[in-house]
Structure 1
Amino acid sequence: MRKTLAILLTVLVLPGVSEAKLKKSMKKECLVCHENWLLETKVESPKLLSNRSLKAADKLMCLSCHDGSLADDRETFLGFGHFSHPVDKEVPKDFKLPKGFPTKDGKLYCGTCHTPHTETGSEKKLDYTFMRKPNVNSALCMECHKANAEHGMNHPILEDTADKLSDELIEKISLLGGRVTESGELQCESCHSPHKGKAKKALLKPVDRSQLCIVCHTDRLNSEEHKDYRNHPIHKDFPEEAEIALFEEKKAITKSVECMTCHKVHKEENKHLLVAKEEKLCSSCHVEEGKVSSTKHNIAGNSCKSCHTPHKAKGPKLWSREIPEDAYDYASIIEVKGKSDILCLSCHYTGNKIEGKEVVTVGTLTHPTGKSLKEKVNLPLPNKKLACVTCHDPHHAYDDGKESKFLRKERLSLCYTCHKSQTKVKEGAHGEIDKKRWKKGDCFACHNVHNAKDGYLSRVVYGEISPMEPAVDGFCLACHDPEGMAEHKVKESIYNEHPVGVKNPTNKLPGKKIACVTCHEPHSHEEELLRIPVKGDSALCLTCHTDKNLKGTSHDLLHNPEVKLSEEERKELLKGGACSACHTPHNPAYKVLWSRKLGKGRTINERMCNSCHSEGGLAADKTIGKHTHPFGREVTEKNLKMIKNSRLPLISQMTGHPAKRGESGVLDCATCHEPHNGADKKRLTRYTVEGDSSLCTACHTSEAAVVGTDHDMRVVGKKLKGGVCSACHVPHNAKNELLWAKEVKRVSGNRMSDYCLSCHTKGGLGESKVIKYYYHPSKDVKVKNLDRPGREGDWPLFTKDGKKVSVGGEIVCETCHNPHVWSKDGGAPHKPVEGNVLNSFLRNRTLKGSICVDCHGLDALYRYKFFHTKKVHQETPSYK
């Protein structure tokens, strides 16, 4: 070996040695490689590194030079025998080497591709020097691997990649140690390197993590390094249910999902070099989703490809279909909020056709999406929100039935998964709907998840509903109609039922506005489907009408011992609650939801109240009598004005409720009484009557001056159950006109004076203040209004029956006296304020003269003596 090397060095360094002389000494030149010809190799010598004979083109012989230490190396055999083109490998029997490519002992060796006996490329020192055939555009590679270069069955190279490689991509390949053709096309050496391979198959990079594929196919990747939802993800574990036998058979990567899991680079007949047909390939991992091939979503036999594509998708979920603007418009109209729902709507929008047939759409009223659920459910929730795929599995139905409509569960079970509180509908009245058509408790008896007719996903609608009424009321009325399924429970009354469409006053019941479902839970099994029971205490009614609680009042008929109820009446009242004694929300007998048979009367309240407060009624012992406080048409314009200025309401005869501002109304029972729970629980008056008679003085403000005077019986030690006013007046069952509380004695012959004289006589309450001698004459008196300064006043005259008149009446007690006013400011008697006098309720209340002077002028004193002093009194009146 040393001699051989010495000979070679001698030849190379001798000056003047020509190429011709080298050619003439071929024997010596050949010895550079063919050292087994030397005598030294035939003799065992301890000086030799190896005692094995090296034959020409032996691997070790080639490596003795091509180990990277000589500058003349054409290649550096890094990793030779591990990742480079294999040598010392038997040629498979089914693999036929082309002519001119020898083997050694049936095995590949360096000389299979290379030979130093050829001048190929040596003159121009090309990269394929000493190759058996010029390797232009991978021609040498293709001599053996012709099948790996066939068009359509292998990764595209040469003309299939013409003008497709960017300068940036070519540079990336070069940096890896790969090469492209002179015209910038891919060739075998773009991925493989026969002597510098860094991975199996002499690849420039491994493929077990798609490292080599990533170099070029960055636009088809979705990995940690290249995130792009438009492409199938890689570096992912196989699903547990994946059938990996297919991939193992194809010798694809099975440790994780990679490019080479689905694709083969060489000798693959399937389109896109897939290891199997698309539908089979997808379903090998996506086993459950593979069932789509037997459904209507297998459009035109494209199976998965009907909706998905593994690369360069049009939307999320590897969506393959273009999403038309019409689909986005449709999504806006129906207020679809789920981000993934637009994928479904890319087909299921109104007016779309596939294969000439219109696609089933969800309509303009459909189940909402994009909402979060309060409770966890065992259903898919993209981004933790409702979506089409929450209820529908687009790949198959729970039972694969044709009519299952891709539902994830049986229809009722699916609804109940989220709507747990509605499951009781099966036990209630609505669970019995039309059994011939629907299963018991079937939600679809009332609802349509898609293509609903109106609010609450109703499958029916009731004509035209007022804009004030919620749409759900039309939903209810569609059945609760004379021609509907609930014809036995319909609106029949000509009077308004419980109002709907008005603001809901409480958050304890659903809805911003009152609707049927505010009080009723249509899915309940409770009586009347009520959200809160009414039995006994009317708890449902009181949820809104918090100020109408009858508890502790005389109108609480269930607990009022004075009311005698029959057993049947008590039973009905218990069932409907305390409020049902007078009201019903449906089919009322009269206004204000009145439930009882009306009594006689002229006003709305009189007729309602008389249903009990009349002979034979429940409150026959509490009637108003012949003489009662005026109301209705009896109220004069003056009194109405007085009422309007008070704290008490006028009652609208159109509605039965207190009149609103600008609305006409009259004095009625409910002006003074609050029938539910007035300030006085027994009398149910809006203000108390005991004490200072606050109820009376709310209107009769000037008469309130009687408080603290001698006419306030409390001052003189009398106990009054009905307040100050009750000493003389009662609002109902009065003894006479003026709502007089006591029997009127006939004393003077004039009713008005008799009212006063009933007390101001011997034995009466006012016997300490009586006229002992003579009265002011009442007959044949003509009163004139004298226009005199300081003498203005109202000195009323009355007929014998007490009617006030301007002319022709008589002078009575009330002509000169105002029984409610003692002094100018209503001060207490016997305690005059400065500037006032004790005037015994005289109408003239100041020091500017006397009431006598107002009528009689300067001769008042003279007349007084003749009429009020016994000594000077004469039998013949002076005025005659």
Structure 2
Amino acid sequence: MRKTLLILLSVLAIPGVSEAKLKKSMKKECLVCHENWLLEAKVKSPKLLTKRAFAAADKLMCLSCHDGSMADDRLTFLGLNHFSHPVNKKVPEDFKIPKGFPLKDGKLYCGTCHTPHTKTGSEKKLDYTFMRYPNVNSALCIKCHEANSKHGMNHPILEDTKGKLKPEFALKIKELGGKVTRNGELQCESCHSAHRGRAKEALLEPVNRSQLCAVCHIDNVNSKEHPNFRNHPIHKKFPKGADLAFFKEQKAITESVECLTCHKVHKEKNKHLVVAEEGKLCILCHVEQKAVNLTKHNINGNSCKSCHTPHKAKGRELWSREIPENAFDYASLINAKGKDDILCLSCHYPQSVVDGKKVEDVGLLTHPTGKKVKEKVHLPLPGGTMSCTTCHDPHHAYNNSPKGKFLREPRLKLCYTCHKQEADVKNGPHGEIDKKRWKRGDCAACHNVHKAKGGYLSRVVYGEISPMEPPVDGFCLACHDPEGMAKHKIKQSVFNEHPVGVKNPTDKLPGKKVSCVTCHNPHTHKEELLRIPVRGSSQLCLTCHSDQNLKGTPHDLLNNREVKLTEKERKELLKKGACSACHTPHNPKFKVLWALEPGKGKTIGEKLCSSCHAKGGLAADKTVGKHTHPMGREVTEKNLKMIENSRLPLINQMTGHPAKRGEPGVLDCMTCHNPHNGADNERLTRYTVAGDSALCTACHVKEGAVIGTPHDMRVVHKDFKNALGKSVLKDGVCSACHVPHRAKDSLLWATEIKKVTDNRMSNYCLTCHSKGGVAEDKVVKYYTHPHKDVVLRNFNRPGRQGDWPLFTKDGKEVHVGGEIACETCHDPHVWSKWQKNPPGKPVEGTVINSFLRNRDVSGSICVDCHGLDALYRYKFFHYKQARSGKESYR
């Protein structure tokens, strides 16, 4: 202490030293740092707490004051011992320390950069006070770390960043405790701080999760915190097979993919400070994609860069190429909807030229994309749907061939991956197409994945077909044509085949409209390439035509024992199905897909039915006979109207099908019969015949009034023990007199006609109403009306009631010159209107001649000639007592 006082007193005694200078010098008291001089005098004292002598600028000497007890220290020495500039560290031999920067025992120490004896700095320049060199714009740092500031090999600073640092980034740096130049440029302290570091290498922020880089390079990162698909993702695990050894050798971050995994900040000669050449860097991680260097996609040796960029990409997948408007137009034109399709089309669009070479496009008809795949497949599905990259790997082909089409697998295997069901084509007839050119079951025999020539990716060209027909039919007909590959199976008939282009009536077969592929599966090996078999029951046909099942009907020839089929016919029918007995979908011999040679007849129905229902046919025992129900033009317009009202169909003679409203149609076999089934399963009639003869009375409504009258044999013969009664029960009311086919005479007369008179019309009635007839108890004995020298006329006149028809001898109705027959006065179907008892309930005393057209002869044809005497003339026909000897009755 005495020595210290002596020194202070000597200083004060020095002439010319003012009080102000003394105060200033006290701030730099030598003893503050050189306290070790005092310790030397006391080193032998046993009472000292320490006998160690501190060297000047020793770390502990500095920390004896800068220990955080001062406010400035608390802000300055944040990372001391952990993240500050290293001290007590030996300098590597290859590291040259500039002149004027001392070491202590060959090691860095605080005094290497700092000294209280420096002329630099002042109270107003605390940023470099006590520094051996003014650290303006990181000048002190650069003195030692000159190699880390060289242009082009290090992170740009100073003039390289002039005008490039955004104000918001500069503010972030200052908030972290970093510094920028007065001109807003980066400097060493923008990232590093010798005493205030928070991470290794005296960094302001850690870099293990790219935190420090993201302060400024926020537009170049893609992380969970800052998602931006246009940049390479960070915080990600390294892909399998990545060359981690290389990155470790480069001292890059390897815990996860970060900014400093690929980039270096200092001493990197590669462009953009990447740790390897750009052509090799990507494949250090993306090992599976390195084969791209051997393909056409390695444009001018640019490798990955030909298509990708790690930062600020133009599109998804880090796409580096500008996507022209033409590519978007083309994508819309070909309906490309895959997630990444537009990337591929950015080069592969029509008239595209890349680096002077024309690029091939996929054509206007190409494999669809953007669709979900039903099957679980191992191929990539971007966004869950098909894309170009589902089948193509843009980085290499499955066999690494430079000439490959970038397919992920061999072509056939690739197709069958999704189209598993179509793989069966190998075993079917379509698997044998053009063996010389294609492999067995090769899809390319019929399809082109790109640049197809027709619908369904057709490889063949086909012409225009009807607008009503689906395009797929044209595809089929391109080969099934006289000049096509399948010319042995073509349309040859002049008659229409199974219709296409019409609404599909079921969802059990594909397509909204019927087409070739509705029934046929071109890829199967099944018989006739049918989706559902026809063998036996014709199940395929019944899928749509469910109401036309023949099972249990006489037309089910396979199960109809009455039909005698040869063994050959039975085998053929079994093979092609029950429907094939009459129909065939292809090359029919007549309308309605008729499989047989049509028979004789005026109408379509007659020609179709007579194929079998004729002499020598399968149904020769069931022909219509000479006298049969009239058809075609024989039916009057009046009767046609009745048919329409009956809801029985008229048949269009152009198509053979029931006529639609407004179409011309005539009475035909199918008007009354449904050849596939019907209300009457035995006769295949649309309405029943047994009982009330519903089929007949549907059209013949007026004649249906016979039901319940004495002409209704069910009423007359209640016991039905005789043959007529049994027949009427089975064949209906009308069958007592009429049958539709194989009749004995005109008017479809059911029985043999007796020749009682010379007038056929009267004989119809007298066959029963005569001795030996069914109605012999109601015989008319007197019936002849004179006809010689008499001309009768049936015409309308005032007072005439109803129609009193005249007939020729052969039974034809005429208006002039005919004869009076039974039917002139009687309507055998209609009970007399003046009958007091209800129809169908005759009682004792009922008049038996109640089928008169009128109550009496008033207004009848009799009055036309006989006037008031007509009543007596009328009685002449029925009563013996009326036949007197008077001249007037002769």
TM-score bracket for the superposition, by shorter chain length: over 0.9
Deviation at 1:779, TM superposition (A): 4.4
| Post-superposition CA distance 1:490-522 (Å, at most 9, x none) | 111111110000000011111000000000111
Q: Does structure 1 conserve the Cα–Cα contact (< 8 Å) formed by 2:744 and 2:752? A: yes
Deviation at 1:230, TM superposition (A): 1.3
Structure 2 residue identity aligned to 1:763? G
- 823-832 vs 288-297, which moves further: 823-832
Matches of 1:591 and 1:20 in 2, distance apart? 131
Describe how 1:789-800 pairs up with structure 2 within 5 A: 790-800=799-809
Matches of 1:25 and 1:665 in 2, distance apart? 131
Q: Does structure 2 conserve the Cα–Cα contact (< 8 Å) formed by 1:162 and 1:185? A: yes
- 262-271 vs 383-392, which moves further: 383-392
Structure 2 residue identity aligned to 1:698? A
- SS of residue in 2 equivalent to 1:104: coil
Matched, 1:805 2:818: no
Matches of 1:66 and 1:443 in 2, distance apart? 83
- 186-195 vs 411-420, which moves further: 411-420
Distance 1:817 1:877, change over 3 A: farther
Matched, 1:304 2:304: yes
Matched, 1:844 2:869: no
Matched, 1:345 2:348: no
| Post-superposition CA distance 1:809-836 (Å, at most 9, x none) | 1111111111111133998557489xx9
Structure 2 residue identity aligned to 1:18? S
- 634-643 vs 731-740, which moves further: 634-643
Describe how 1:621-700 pairs up with structure 2 within 5 A: 621-700=621-700
In the other structure, the counterpart of 1:873 is 883
Deviation at 1:782, TM superposition (A): 3.9
Q: Does structure 1 conserve the Cα–Cα contact (< 8 Å) formed by 2:768 and 2:774? A: yes
Aligned length: 878
Q: Does structure 1 conserve the Cα–Cα contact (< 8 Å) formed by 2:497 and 2:588? A: yes
Distance 1:39 1:448, change over 3 A: closer
Matches of 1:768 and 1:16 in 2, distance apart? 180
- 616-625 vs 816-825, which moves further: 816-825
| Post-superposition CA distance 1:461-480 (Å, at most 9, x none) | 32111110000001111111
Matches of 1:14 and 1:667 in 2, distance apart? 150
Tell me, which stretches of 5 or more residues in structure 1 are unaligned? Answer: none
Q: Does structure 2 conserve the Cα–Cα contact (< 8 Å) formed by 1:66 and 1:76? A: no
In the other structure, the counterpart of 2:87 is 87
In the other structure, the counterpart of 1:188 is 188
Matches of 1:801 and 1:371 in 2, distance apart? 78
Distance 1:124 1:862, change over 3 A: closer
In the other structure, the counterpart of 2:539 is 539
In the other structure, the counterpart of 1:596 is 596
- SS of residue in 2 equivalent to 1:737: coil
Describe how 1:464-503 pairs up with structure 2 within 5 A: 464-503=464-503
Deviation at 1:338, TM superposition (A): 2.2
| Post-superposition CA distance 1:275-323 (Å, at most 9, x none) | 1112321111111122222111122222111221111112222121222
Deviation at 1:768, TM superposition (A): 1.0
Matches of 1:554 and 1:853 in 2, distance apart? 55
- 856-865 vs 227-236, which moves further: 856-865
- SS of residue in 2 equivalent to 1:291: helix
| Post-superposition CA distance 1:29-70 (Å, at most 9, x none) | 544323333464562334444322222222212222222334
In the other structure, the counterpart of 1:730 is 739
- SS of residue in 2 equivalent to 1:422: helix
Distance 1:828 1:674, change over 3 A: farther
Distance 1:13 1:663, change over 3 A: farther
Describe how 1:270-419 pairs up with structure 2 within 5 A: 270-419=270-419
Deviation at 1:678, TM superposition (A): 1.8
Matches of 2:351 and 2:471 in 1, distance apart? 27
Distance 1:872 1:156, change over 3 A: closer
Matches of 1:441 and 1:496 in 2, distance apart? 32
Q: Does structure 2 conserve the Cα–Cα contact (< 8 Å) formed by 1:180 and 1:190? A: yes
Deviation at 1:222, TM superposition (A): 1.1
How large is the Cα RMSD of the aligned pairs?
A: 3.0
Matches of 1:613 and 1:13 in 2, distance apart? 155
**Among 752, 755, 778, the residue aligned to 2:764:** 755
Deviation at 1:871, TM superposition (A): 4.2
Q: Could you state the TM-score of these two structures normalised by the residue count of structure 1? A: 0.94
Q: Does structure 1 conserve the Cα–Cα contact (< 8 Å) formed by 2:632 and 2:666? A: yes
Matches of 1:420 and 1:9 in 2, distance apart? 107
- 622-631 vs 118-127, which moves further: 118-127
- 321-330 vs 242-251, which moves further: 321-330
Deviation at 1:838, TM superposition (A): 7.0
Matched, 1:860 2:845: no
- 270-279 vs 75-84, which moves further: 75-84
| Post-superposition CA distance 1:352-411 (Å, at most 9, x none) | 221233322222222222222333211212222222222111111211124541111111
Q: Does structure 2 conserve the Cα–Cα contact (< 8 Å) formed by 1:837 and 1:847? A: no
Structure 2 residue identity aligned to 1:528? E
Structure 1 residue identity aligned to 2:280? K
Q: Does structure 2 conserve the Cα–Cα contact (< 8 Å) formed by 1:469 and 1:515? A: yes
In the other structure, the counterpart of 1:206 is 206
Deviation at 1:447, TM superposition (A): 1.5
Q: Does structure 1 conserve the Cα–Cα contact (< 8 Å) formed by 2:336 and 2:370? A: yes
Matched, 1:766 2:775: yes
Q: Does structure 2 conserve the Cα–Cα contact (< 8 Å) formed by 1:198 and 1:206? A: yes
Distance 1:249 1:629, change over 3 A: same
In the other structure, the counterpart of 2:754 is 745
Matches of 2:309 and 2:44 in 1, distance apart? 70
Matches of 1:151 and 1:555 in 2, distance apart? 99
Deviation at 1:777, TM superposition (A): 3.8
Matches of 1:17 and 1:858 in 2, distance apart? 180
Matches of 1:688 and 1:81 in 2, distance apart? 111
- SS of residue in 1 equivalent to 2:868: helix
Distance 1:646 1:148, change over 3 A: same
- SS of residue in 1 equivalent to 2:714: coil
Matches of 1:40 and 1:464 in 2, distance apart? 114
Deviation at 1:772, TM superposition (A): 2.9
| Post-superposition CA distance 1:851-876 (Å, at most 9, x none) | 85576332234435655443452467
Structure 2 residue identity aligned to 1:239? P
Tell me, which stretches of 5 or more residues in structure 2 are unaligned? Answer: 718-724
Q: Does structure 2 conserve the Cα–Cα contact (< 8 Å) formed by 1:77 and 1:195? A: yes
- SS of residue in 1 equivalent to 2:148: helix
- SS of residue in 1 equivalent to 2:699: coil
Matched, 1:821 2:848: no
Describe how 1:228-307 pairs up with structure 2 within 5 A: 228-307=228-307
Matches of 2:287 and 2:700 in 1, distance apart? 89
In the other structure, the counterpart of 1:36 is 36
Deviation at 1:9, TM superposition (A): 12
Q: Could you state the TM-score of these two structures normalised by the residue count of structure 2? A: 0.93
Deviation at 1:597, TM superposition (A): 1.4
| Post-superposition CA distance 1:651-707 (Å, at most 9, x none) | 111111111111112221111111111222221111111111111112111111111
- SS of residue in 2 equivalent to 1:617: coil
Distance 1:74 1:673, change over 3 A: closer
| Post-superposition CA distance 1:422-470 (Å, at most 9, x none) | 1211111111111111111111211222222222222223211111000
Matches of 1:782 and 1:788 in 2, distance apart? 17
Deviation at 1:846, TM superposition (A): 7.4
- SS of residue in 2 equivalent to 1:633: coil
Q: Does structure 1 conserve the Cα–Cα contact (< 8 Å) formed by 2:794 and 2:861? A: no
Distance 1:766 1:16, change over 3 A: farther
Q: Does structure 2 conserve the Cα–Cα contact (< 8 Å) formed by 1:832 and 1:838? A: no
Distance 1:5 1:72, change over 3 A: farther
Distance 1:785 1:468, change over 3 A: closer
Distance 1:785 1:430, change over 3 A: closer
